[in-house]
């Protein structure tokens, strides 16, 4: 049985398109992107520092969010659901924190990549294309991450940044 491909159905137009559009995925960087070493897992006390700073920022602004802190192995260490925060955002806060630590980058990078048309990103397991997940660093190593959800992406990011700034050194 012969398989049909797009190139077989539209050979002239496919060939023209393929010649006009270089594949950006063919670029080979000299260095590994986001080559951040994983460090020891964040302690409960440090996780609480990040959580408390994020809660304080959220309360200062009158926002009701869910906030999750993961360790360097993507395990939940601390969590808060502020009074009135939407239930659906519990799992999203955890997902953002998990993606930030697993992929060693802010989830804002996935949001930007998807908006730029890098649709392969949506095929990766555990990716979430929304800002509000930020790695937690100490001594150049990733010790965990924080994820916030319940507001707009930019609100989530502001609160996460406050939590991350309380811990990152």
DSSP string, 27-88: ---SS-TT-PPB-SPPPHHHHHHHHHHHHHHHHHHT---EEEEEETTS-EEEEEE-TT--TT
Directed axis angle between helix 44-61 and helix 153-165, to 10°?
130
Looking at the DSSP bridge assignments, the partners of residue 141 are 138
Q: What is the pLDDT of residues 17-62, one digit of tens each?
A: 556 777 777 888 888 888 899 999 999 999 999 999 999 999 999 9
**Domain range enclosing 61:** 44-165
Give the C-alpha separation, 57 to 22, whole Å: 45
Domain count, the chain: 1
How high does pLDDT run on average in the chain?
91
**Residue 58, in any domain of the structure:** yes
Q: What is the pTM of this model?
A: 0.83
In a domain, 29, yes or no: no
**For the segment 139-166, what is each residue's pLDDT rounded down to a tens digit?**
999 999 999 999 999 999 999 999 999 9
For the domain that residue 65 is a member of, what is the CATH number? Answer: 3.30.450.150
């Amino acid at each position: 049985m012969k398989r049909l491909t797009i190139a077989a159905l539209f050979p002239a137009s496919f060939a023209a398109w393929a010649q006009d559009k270089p594949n950006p995925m063919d670029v080979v960087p000299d260095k590994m992107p986001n080559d951040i070493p994983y460090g020891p897992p964040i302690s409960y006390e440090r996780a609480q520092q990040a959580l408390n700073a994020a809660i304080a920022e959220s309360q200062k602004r009158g926002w009701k969010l869910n906030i999750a802190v993961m360790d360097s192995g993507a395990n939940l260490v601390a969590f808060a659901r502020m009074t009135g925060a939407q239930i659906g955002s519990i799992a999203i806060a955890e997902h953002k924190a998990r993606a930030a630590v697993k992929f060693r980058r802010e989830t804002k990078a996935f949001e930007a990549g998807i908006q730029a048309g890098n649709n392969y990103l949506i095929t990766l397991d555990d990716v979430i294309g929304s800002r509000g997940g930020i790695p937690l660093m100490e001594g150049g190593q990733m010790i965990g991450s924080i994820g916030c959800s319940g507001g707009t992406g930019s609100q989530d990011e502001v609160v996460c940044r406050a939590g991350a700034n309380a811990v990152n050194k």
